[in-house]
Structure 1
Amino acid sequence: MDKFSTWFPPVFYLFLAAIFLYRTTFVGDVFLPAGLLGYIAPYQTAIHTKLLPPWNPLRWDGIAQFYPWRLFAARTVRSGFLPLWNPYQFCGAPFVANSQSAVFYPPNLLFDLFPTTIAFNLNALLHLTLCGWFTYLFLKQLRCFPLASLLGGCIYAYSAWQVQWLQLPTFLATSCWFPLLLRQLYRLLRTPGSSGTSLTSAGASLGLMLLAGHLQIAFYGLLAAFLWVLALLIRTLQEQKPIGKLLALSAGVFLLGGLLCSIQLLPTLELSRLSHRATQATPAGYQEYIAYALQPYELSTLFLPNLTGNDYDPQNHYWGFYLQSAGNSLVAVRHNAAETALYVGILPLLLAAVAVYRALHRRAPNYRALFFAILAVFALLMALGTPLNALFYFGIPGFGASGSPARILVLWAFATACLAAFGLDYLLESPLEKRAFLALFAALLAGFGLCLFLVSQALTVPLPGFDLLDVPSFARALSRIPYDWVRLGAGLTLSAVLFWRTHRHPVSGSFRFALGCLAITITDLFWTGMPVNPVARSTWVYPLTPGIRYLQTHLGHERIFPINRFWSLNTPPPAVLPPNGAMVYALRDVQGYDSLFPGQLKAYADRFARPNRFGVSDASPPEVGNMVFFQNPNAPLVPTTGARYAVALPTDNPAFADVTLPPQTPPLPLSSDDLTLYPLSSALPRARFVSDNPKLPNPPVTYLQDLPTRVSLQVTAPTGGLLILADENYPGWEATVDKYRVPILVPPPSQGSLFRAVRLSSGEHIVAFRFRPSSFNVGLYLSLIGLLFFCWQSSKNLFRSRTNMLGGIECRNQ
């Protein structure tokens, strides 16, 4: 039986994940929103289908950020180098320092071992399995019944929050470690004799959570862990036990976790200090931050998950909105279903209410249930943009630069999953009184009625922006979700039947009751979640078009200059070869898209900007501050970028006239119509020598090596001058001339002061640039120290357990 209980849960969750992802597991599709590429040039000519998923600017990140990043990292590692620097976006940018690159997260070895499209499938399958299994282990550690623990794992893994973010892999890869971290902390602080094993495993869980890539979600995990440790220490004090050793052990966990992730964390902290997000917290910024919070009317999705629409049903498009100030009025702006994902199932809500009721009505309150009830309420209050957010926004440096405050709903999903497991656990011990059951059921219905009232109030008075979003009337919104009404009615009815039968047959019906709860919850969550994430054919993933093939053949070591200007949250934007797309084809690009990049690049790109709809010249579109366009190919600094071709939308479409400002050179006469290429005749080479004597011609520069972290050049200088490499300068780049270390200089503004330069005397020289950031080196040493401690402590624990086992065998033989 012990062996069965050991291997059954992971196999069970793996089976569920395979069914949930059946199109990628059994049909052969890829778990990427690659169909969204079909809206963007040049892929429109290669993806011929009327079945493209609706435009979703947040899900776009799955194919526009994570796929190029994972592909680039895998290619670089396979070539024998660490991907510390990315030469293909932003005129060069640090790569490991982008925490979402997650280069050192061990499960991302899947991307090194398998083709990238297949690795995305395996990654989702793995982390859905881990999410459920780790939650099961945590609940079992808290002495829940096995079926109750299985239920909690299903709720957390397939809650709306996890499913909505599933195609952005760092979210689930980070949040799946929450329950294991809390489990090991509980073992450390509440289980005598397991301190050594629990300390190393808790530290490893914390390190993996931080290495997984999403620091905002990891912060919420750290917050939950800190509050959990605080609750356990308070409980220990109430038992009149000393806590000095426990405090030291807790500090050891956080220290070990920090050491293990230093190789990733220190470069990220360095970049964040120099990034475009490095701003001061201000009252105005705080108001802008909380404006994107969960709106009160969106609480209705606790019961009707599609009430505000979705991105897969053409009869019920997504219309959720938040309010943004525009002068003296409010404007409705498109929200995103992933930022407001509340749904955890109907039955789990009722079970969670049972857990809170029973915890409060026992002679001795159940502190486990109370802790998670408080955590759930806290997460909801934070998600709603209440003043609690100010404590973090103004009190924690950099917190204001994180994403939506509603992303803390990950803690809501986790806490509710645990409460639902506790509720089932209570009911398996003894049935709920009829009066209590009717009261909880009535409270659930009252909450549902209140949520509908909030929706009706939000839709009563049309606001500016309603027409653009096609916000429906209250009656129309309710009529567009027949399946939600069926799901709600079925969930409430089956829940009532199960509770009633259990009350009549408390002993014989308990096992059937638990199985029924598990079946109802899985059916509910799968019915809600399976249509959410669009899959694609593998041929849709960055197809090779004639125009791209031409660039690969003729570009050499130079860059491209895509001419983009607009982006959109509501409709597919008019764009060509969007940021990061060039990485897939190993083409160097001036533009880029990342949540963290050097602020000096943004300042440089702003010098190419054209006025946006607000009359502001900004390289980033108003909708996405993390995206950088180079909008004007006729700007004075264009020759300095190292770009050889401007890439524009096809010229035969008059709708693109306001998007594309063409260069002053005629386009190339290509036979394809996927994009338009303009040679930039005034472009300077990416690597160039500028003589001190302007009357002398500048000699050509020869590339000896052009790798992501190493560039070697050869030049014969007729006189003294500057050798300029039009790649972004950043701390950690070193230069040698004929193997002698020299300082990297800033080129004059006319040559692009963003880039690197070294001074040369006359004669033949070999100049080498190499990226060796001290932040990475220090982080590497710290991580090695943490890894050595982990291995030493683990081997010691293993030796001790084997010794105890042999001792037990010897005693039995005697």
Structure 2
Amino acid sequence: MPHAAVPSRQGVARLNKFSIWFPPVFYLLLAAVFLYRTTFVGDVFLPAGLLGYIAPYQTAIHAHSLPPWNPLRWDGIAQFYPWRLFAARTVRSGLLPLWNPYQFCGAPFVANSQSAVFYPPNLLFDPLPTTIAFNLNALLHLTLCGWFTYLFLKQLRCSTLSSLLGGCVYAYSAWQVQWLQLPTFLATSCWFPLVLRQLYRLLRTHSAPGTSLTSAGASIGLMLLAGHLQIAFYGLLAASLWSLALLIRTANERKALGRSIALSAGAFLLGGLLCAVQLLPTLELSRLSHRATQATTAGYQEYVGYALQPYELTTLFLPNLTGNDYDPQNHYWGFYLQSAANALVAVRHNAAETALYVGILPLLLAALAVYRALQRQSLNYRALFFVLLAVLALLMALGTPLDALFYFGIPGFGASGSPARILVLWALAIACLAAFGLDYLLESPPNKRALLALFAVLLAGFGLCLFLVSQALSVPLPGFDLLHVPTFSQALSRIPYDWVRLGAGFILAAVLFWQAHRRSKSVSFTLAVSCLAITIADLFWTGIPINPVARPAWVYPRTPGIRYLQAHLGHERIFPINRFWSLDHPPPAVLPPNGAMVYQLRDVQGYDSLFPGQLKAYADQFARPNRFGVSDASPPEVGNMVFFQNPNAPLLPTTSARYAVALPTDNPAFANVTLPPSTPPLSLSSNDLTLYLLSSALPRARFLSDNPKLLNPPVTYLQDLPTRVVLRVTALTSGLLILADENYPGWEATVDKQPVPILTPPASQGSLFRAVRLAPGNHIVAFQFQPSSFNIGLYLSLTGLLILCWESSKNLFRSRKTM
């Protein structure tokens, strides 16, 4: 060979660097194209257009058309945007956002796991504008999702192109895309493949055990810190089953088995240490929260009722069969069945809860992997694991008795969301099987008989799914009219593009499979690239329209009414009068829960997956009967939302709400929603909302003298920060200093720098709040939030970080020593 043809050492190094950096750059470019509206056009990756349905934003958001109402996607703008903005503002001020003073009359913030304050990628939100940080957050996690899957599949000795394919399938599966605007879902699930990879390296390779253990523990810790504990639980479930499978492979070697058990336990323990700063406050709140209930048979039936419905399996082939939120000719009509008055009623489902689609070609490749994995002569234990994982995920998503093992066996599991969210493991399993299937196709393609059998089985499955749809739609049920459920023929006729996609997918797959059967080695690369390109085109065609974007000006605009409140409210609260919510259409609401956080206005209401149960009991005293005749502060559709519905309730003065906020009086829903206070509305030049001055409201900080004949002296704020409130008062007699902020474990009080106990005020003053007893004289009273759960968690997490740093320094020393 000529000398010039021999690669130099420098050239080999350059090629290796290229091969290392090509996958993340590839996935970054894919994410940029998928998010092209936010990457290149200047929109923001937030469903802010949904605010246009709600007062007071209706007067500020003008658009030709707003995105269809979606109650789950609403959380992206109504929960995650206010939370990320509040956390960033607090960190910039030099404080940790342990407490949120703006919702629920004050509530723990870090203890809400979805705040994800200590998740490292969320540091993006601290220096950057929040809207830009949301754009970058989605871009980053889509990239990581694909890249980590690629790394895992390469570790399992898949080819480069097969690994790239698997990463694309997992990152752009319907499950990931449907949940993309709720950032904790992807931020948690993107770590699954890396966790599995690091556990494999720990238990099956001969790499340094210390390094492998710390890297596995770090990936588990990051998955748990990302914020969504239900999804993280599924990640831990997959990791535990994967570890068990790897341990079984070494069961015949006692010494190796004992070592592997110790290493895997160490990795999970280290992951738990790293996330303790987040996990311990969350566990404390969950024990005291509105969800702290016992698992019951009735609760289980309600839980599995929201599962994936058998007819929805058809979306494996036709992703828009049950409609969507972007095509006006094919609105979403998916439903599940609920018992009411001894009859079944159709209730709106949500496409995100039933997201099955992984692409036509990946499904065929996964089927090929299943076929090969079950052959005795070529039994592949890794493929078999993912076959079983996919089956487990699908069975649990369908609400089979398997769910009962978790619902009744794991404390708190019953308070999680839909059982169909385990479809995240379905997406991961199919992504891995598709990669295995592509390698099988290129290395030893099936014969004609196997190919025909494979396609016949899939077509038979598709026919069965269509039969299930026809049965589900054959008899109209109560609720069909409200949801505009089509007939079977109408449902099939509304999705012409899905039929084109399905037909093209099967035809292209048949051509590629046949070419692989007849191929020479020279066309293997072309076949693999073709499979990758077809998969990307299919998933992008399906996924890009799903998530609406918005103009930056639509993100919580400041209306005249908002400006008035900001100028006049001071340290007190607002009392928005809301009563109804809806899963089917935009609800009649004004300044809905969490929106006040954006404007730094203190609010009585709130919306969170975890909040103290005592707040719910307090808010129920302001409730009006709902459509079922039950007085409940939470609307029937959303148990995590708390409204204060009656501004004339006896306890109104205790809320310290200076203004009631209502719908504009010309809104058709005003009379049905708003129970006006006894005072007349303020005359404002704006028509975005209606304001009432609540003259009976007590000050948020007030002194209650033991001598009722004396006037209570005013209380002065020296500091009013999220985790620290300092007050000055001159008391002529002894009495109680009351701060109408929710009391919660971790709040401590000092009077003139001396610790004092926090007392419960009389019921007439709001027993939910904090009080300290004062003697006559001048006093400075400080309330400081220092929860022991956070402090203990911080020490544990620092211990985990020290272990990581120690192991990293050892590795650095070893590498320098060998140079």
Q: TM-score range by the shorter chain?
A: over 0.9
Q: Which residue of 1 aligns with 2:522?
A: 508
The whole-number CA distance in structure 1 between the counterparts of 2:253 and 2:725 is 64
The whole-number CA distance in structure 2 between the counterparts of 1:48 and 1:361 is 60
The whole-number CA distance in structure 2 between the counterparts of 1:362 and 1:29 is 53
Runs of at least 4 residues off by over 4 Å = 238-241
RMSD (Å), alpha carbons: 0.8
Matched, 1:283 2:297: yes
The amino acid across from 1:505 in the alignment is R
The whole-number CA distance in structure 2 between the counterparts of 1:357 and 1:400 is 36
SS of 2:126's equivalent in the other structure is helix
Among 302, 307, 315, the alignment partner of 1:301 is 315
The whole-number CA distance in structure 2 between the counterparts of 1:295 and 1:764 is 66
The amino acid across from 2:536 in the alignment is I
Matches within 5 A, 1:698-709: 698-709=712-723
Q: Which residue of 2 aligns with 1:469?
A: 483
The whole-number CA distance in structure 2 between the counterparts of 1:502 and 1:427 is 6
Deviations 1:141-183 (A, max 9, x none): 0000000000000000000000000000000000000000000
Matched, 1:426 2:426: no
Q: Is the 8 A contact 2:82 2:598 kept in 1?
A: yes
Deviations 1:751-801 (A, max 9, x none): 000000000111111110000000000000000000000110111122223
Shift of 1:50: 2.7
The whole-number CA distance in structure 1 between the counterparts of 2:498 and 2:628 is 40
Deviations 1:689-734 (A, max 9, x none): 0111111111110000000000000011111110000000000000
The whole-number CA distance in structure 1 between the counterparts of 2:508 and 2:656 is 66
Q: Which residue of 2 aligns with 1:133?
A: 147
Matches within 5 A, 1:613-624: 613-624=627-638
Q: Which residue of 1 aligns with 2:752?
A: 738
The amino acid across from 2:599 in the alignment is Y
Shift of 1:485: 0.4
Aligned length: 805
Matched, 1:436 2:445: no
Q: Which residue of 2 aligns with 1:729?
A: 743
The whole-number CA distance in structure 2 between the counterparts of 1:205 and 1:802 is 25
Q: Which residue of 1 aligns with 2:334?
A: 320
The amino acid across from 1:749 in the alignment is A
Matches within 5 A, 1:2-13: 2-13=16-27
Q: Is the 8 A contact 1:352 1:423 kept in 2?
A: yes
Q: Which residue of 1 aligns with 2:615?
A: 601
Shift of 1:426: 1.1
Deviations 1:621-662 (A, max 9, x none): 000000000000000000000100000001123432010000
Q: Is the 8 A contact 1:559 1:587 kept in 2?
A: yes
Among 66, 72, 83, the alignment partner of 1:52 is 66
Q: Which residue of 2 aligns with 1:812?
A: none
The whole-number CA distance in structure 2 between the counterparts of 1:9 and 1:661 is 59
Q: Is the 8 A contact 1:430 1:506 kept in 2?
A: no
The whole-number CA distance in structure 2 between the counterparts of 1:78 and 1:522 is 40
Deviations 1:590-618 (A, max 9, x none): 00000000000000000000000000000
TM-score, normalization by structure 2: 0.98
Q: Which residue of 1 aligns with 2:493?
A: 479
The whole-number CA distance in structure 1 between the counterparts of 2:234 and 2:711 is 59
Shift of 1:241: 6.4
Matched, 1:256 2:267: no
Matched, 1:221 2:254: no
Matched, 1:409 2:442: no
The whole-number CA distance in structure 2 between the counterparts of 1:186 and 1:316 is 45
TM-score, normalization by structure 1: 0.98
Which deviates more from structure 2 when the two are superposed, residues 627-636 or residues 644-653?
644-653
Among 555, 565, 578, the alignment partner of 1:564 is 578
Q: Which residue of 1 aligns with 2:280?
A: 266
Deviations 1:253-307 (A, max 9, x none): 0110000000000000000000000000000000000000000000000000000
Unaligned runs of 5+ in 2: 1-14
Among 84, 89, 109, the alignment partner of 2:123 is 109
The amino acid across from 1:550 in the alignment is Y
Among 169, 175, 181, the alignment partner of 1:155 is 169
Shift of 1:194: 2.5
SS of 2:374's equivalent in the other structure is helix
Matched, 1:447 2:452: no
Q: Is the 8 A contact 1:135 1:153 kept in 2?
A: yes
Q: Which residue of 1 aligns with 2:388?
A: 374
Q: Which residue of 2 aligns with 1:388?
A: 402
SS of 2:790's equivalent in the other structure is helix
The whole-number CA distance in structure 2 between the counterparts of 1:445 and 1:659 is 51
Q: Is the 8 A contact 2:201 2:207 kept in 1?
A: no
Q: Is the 8 A contact 1:196 1:797 kept in 2?
A: no
Among 627, 630, 650, the alignment partner of 1:636 is 650
SS of 1:658's equivalent in the other structure is helix
The amino acid across from 1:754 in the alignment is L
Q: Which residue of 2 aligns with 1:761?
A: 775
The whole-number CA distance in structure 2 between the counterparts of 1:798 and 1:252 is 22
Among 674, 678, 693, the alignment partner of 1:660 is 674
The whole-number CA distance in structure 2 between the counterparts of 1:575 and 1:437 is 56
The whole-number CA distance in structure 2 between the counterparts of 1:471 and 1:238 is 57
Shift of 1:528: 0.2
SS of 1:242's equivalent in the other structure is helix
Q: Which residue of 1 aligns with 2:539?
A: 525
The whole-number CA distance in structure 2 between the counterparts of 1:738 and 1:363 is 80
Shift of 1:238: 4.8
SS of 1:423's equivalent in the other structure is helix
Matched, 1:246 2:260: yes
Identity %: 86
Q: Which residue of 1 aligns with 2:792?
A: 778
Q: Is the 8 A contact 2:372 2:378 kept in 1?
A: no
